Amino acid sequence: MKILVTGATGFIGKSLVPKLQNAGHEVEALSKKDYDLLEQSQCRRLFKEHSPDAVFHLAAKVGGILANKTYPADFIYNNLAMNTYFLEEARKAGVKRLIYTFCGCAYSSSAPNPIKEEELFKGIPDANAMFYSLAKATNHLQVVAYRRQYALDWVSLIPGNAYGPWDNFSDKNSHVIAGQLRRFHFAQENNEKSITVWGSGSPVRDFIYVEDVADSLLVALEKHHQEAPINVSSGIGVSIKDLTDLVQQTVGYEGEVIWDKTKPDGHPVKIFDVTRMKSELGFTPKVTLKEGLEKTYSWFKKNIKDVRL
Ligand code: GDP
């Protein structure tokens, strides 16, 4: 198939594009430097210049819990505007197949665990990332609306907390694994006696290695044709305290770990129900958290010059 990927140089895109190429697809890998999706005229030009059989729409304004707290307007504006223009132009161009990814943070912070897809829109997401979460959930609604009104095979997936190569490792924008790997690495290199990590350590998250997310997207291209989004994750809950111990072991840092409780904890427990992932997609992630951390850390050391720090 001729497949267009937006956000192709982003975190998930970097893993997805080579997998699509290896599977024999012709891939048009687009990033911000090709088209600014915040301009409707550029979305229109994009579909004049490309006529894909399918689109993976990964472009988004993303960031960790602190970035979300600091830049709520950027998160809501970029995600709502970009999708409004992009999806409308995709519809006008007759794109029949589109796969969109959003996030587990769209679920209410009081959703019962493990969180089933039907919990979506049954409450307000955690306040720290509410603007991003609701923008992405609204983007999913946009996908649903086009699907219903124009009978398009547009679908959505909800990956869990993804991590791995090409993640954002910067201090301000990173999610927990990339942020901690980076800080432990430099604390180790600089022989620092202690390291500060965020929050209380008590929140629980469900992590998925980015290569597994990319594999699930390939499977979804073939098998996911339902309006209801599907969770894609490990289905295993790990406390931030246990994760931090694992990161510390992976890096081999021996100093003291201090918890900065002034930093937000966010959603208390977020574990995904992956029943539909298994039954409808026939998919199970392959990489354990321990292996994934090792792979991510070796990638980080090898690519330190290209890493987003
Ligand atoms: P989210 O809360 O699921 O959107 O994802 P994050 O990865 O941003 O945060 C997950 C949890 O890890 C939160 O409870 C954070 O307080 C905690 N955490 C601990 N250290 C860090 C860190 O260095 N960066 C981030 N982003 N979160 C951290």
The predicted-structure confidence for 52-107, as pLDDT tens digits, reads as follows 999 999 999 998 788 899 999 999 999 999 999 999 999 999 999 999 999 999 99
- Atom from ligand 1 closest to the CA of residue 200: 16
Query: How many angstroms does the Cα of residue 240 sit away from the middle of ligand 1?
Result: 8
Inform me whether the pLDDT recorded for 308 exceeds 80.
no
Q: Please tell me the predicted confidence (pLDDT) of residue 65.
A: 81
Looking at residue 18, what is its pLDDT? 98
Evaluate if residue 108 carries a pLDDT over 80. Answer: yes
Question: pLDDT category, 146, cuts 50, 70, 90?
Answer: very high
User: What is the percent of the chain where pLDDT is above 90?
Assistant: 92
Predicted confidence at residue 309, as pLDDT, reads: 79
Catalytic residue among 71, 100, 132, 253: 132
In the structure, what pLDDT confidence band is assigned to residue 173 with cuts at 50, 70 and 90? confident
- The binding-site residues of ligand 1, defined as CB within 6 angstroms of any ligand atom, are 64-65, 105, 129, 161, 174-176, 179-180, 197-199, 203, 205, 240, 263-267, 270
Write down all domains in the chain, each with its CATH number in brackets: 2-160+207-234+272-287 (3.40.50.720)
In the residue annotation, 132 being an active-site residue is answered as: yes
Give the residue-averaged pLDDT of 273-278. Answer: 98
Whether the pLDDT of residue 172 is over 90: the answer is no
The Å distance, Cα 89 to ligand 1 centre, comes to 35
Helix (H, G, I), strand (E, B) or coil at 269: strand
The mean predicted confidence, pLDDT, of the chain is 96
Distance 55 CA to ligand 1 centre (A): 30
DSSP annotation string for 78-102: HHHHHHHHHHHHHHHTT--EEEEE-
- pLDDT bucket at 110, cuts 50 / 70 / 90: very high
pLDDT over 80 at 45, yes or no:
yes
CA distance 109 to 93: 38
- Per-residue pLDDT tens over the stretch 231-254: 999 999 999 999 999 999 999 999
- 168-193: average pLDDT: 94
Cα–Cα dist 295/60, whole Å: 25
Query: Atom 20 of ligand 1 has which residue's CA nearest to it?
Result: 198
Q: 């081999």: which residue's tokens? A: 252
Q: Write the residue with the smallest CA distance to atom 10 of ligand 1.
A: 176
- Burial of residue 151 (CB within 10 Å: 0-12, 13-18, 19+) is exposed
Q: How far is the CA of 169 from the centre of ligand 1 (A)?
A: 12
Pick left, alpha or beta for residue 73 (phi over 0 → left; psi -120 to 50 → alpha; otherwise beta): alpha
Nearest residue (CA) to ligand 1, atom 25: 176
The pLDDT score that the predictor gives to residue 139 is 98
Q: Which residue in the block uniquely carries the two structure tokens 């202690």?
A: 194
Q: What is the pLDDT of residue 124?
A: 94
